[in-house]
Structure 1
């Protein structure tokens, strides 16, 4: 793996400047599609220094790929007191607009790109790809794709039994988080979440869910939707992992996921090269 140089800058967006961090490999690999990478955080937290953003982008770029992490606008925090120092929140579609604008700028510079993200960032990656025809691939980790958490299938219930309240997302918590993101419950089905919408034409997708994570219910259901829409999808569960495993770079879940991500991306690069 090569050394990586980072460059923080802003790019113009429809609502103002968008902070991004470009990860530039010292030894770019020929044919490696540039990538947009998006952190999670329930749509309300996270930035370019979050390990889920910085550590992942570093590892992806070290394999010879240009990666752009996007510091998209966040929704208001639904807890704590607000003060004059509390940053303003931005409901949907602010974050999505930033991701789409940053992605268009990268594609204009370098051609076809891959979109990827974790948790809330995975949701943003899919909804951005729906608005960006020609996206070359989607890489999604422990994402939330539904306005409400689907019922837990047996495969998920068995792995999360007895873990309620410990790093788990309940249906009520997911609903509150999603309403906070969009601003009003009537907007939950307005395109902010990709499940149940038109998925035909989305690019080949890799989905890596967390083992002990109730959000796997959303991941498994969405993987089935993608397959039913004719989207080539590879879906795997990272063994013995919790939601947010990409924030823990010393653990096996992080290493397992990054190996899978880089391997899948290399195969996508080869497929893109064969595309007329």
Structure 2
């Protein structure tokens, strides 16, 4: 029997890409090519059977691939997203249902503490449990210098990327039992910040520090806390958060020679969520196509 293993360098598309600017938050269906979320490429094996997960920013990008992978591993999934992302949110929900699991759609703006607290309450009311919290929702906007960053943009980065994570995690803790997992999405920008993404890089460094600190705080309660540090990943973020010229060559700077697809990160989140991986906490797991990290 001959087994074919894909060459990671050529498995997915690489630059040059067409410029494809969109206004934030962006939609998957407008991207060329559309991201791979794992509908065909990810195969589950029941590692999360019977568990319940909440994934924020799950309408598209990394969050959508994670939600689908969790469903294929046997978990029921609540997906949180902005109201204007409803088309992608509906598509993500259909993919979870197609995997045979229950889904709860949670539209709303996580910058509001009340929305975060309501999301947690609705998940527990719907599924009577919460085992996995994935803080993945994020905002990113490039600038050519500090003078170009206005107060509204600055606060939106921190309100979305950092404060929402705090509100959600705090609200979730009373419902998390020993064996539960919290997984945060940081970035390689934690170690190699980009000049045009000053506030974004700062928030991602804050997420990494929050992860390690919280892991130490919660280990005595049997709750594991870890983070994934993605490199250049092909998501609507690229269309909304990068200049058109940078979109053309996106991912070519990685040693792999191409951007990663959301489906390629899903396994990292499954590993960190898997109850069998009980000795992994406080970890910052890079998935970056070989990009050097300081």
Report the TM range for the smaller structure's normalisation. 0.3 to 0.5
TM-score in terms of structure 1 length:
0.43
The TM-score with structure 2 as length reference comes to 0.41
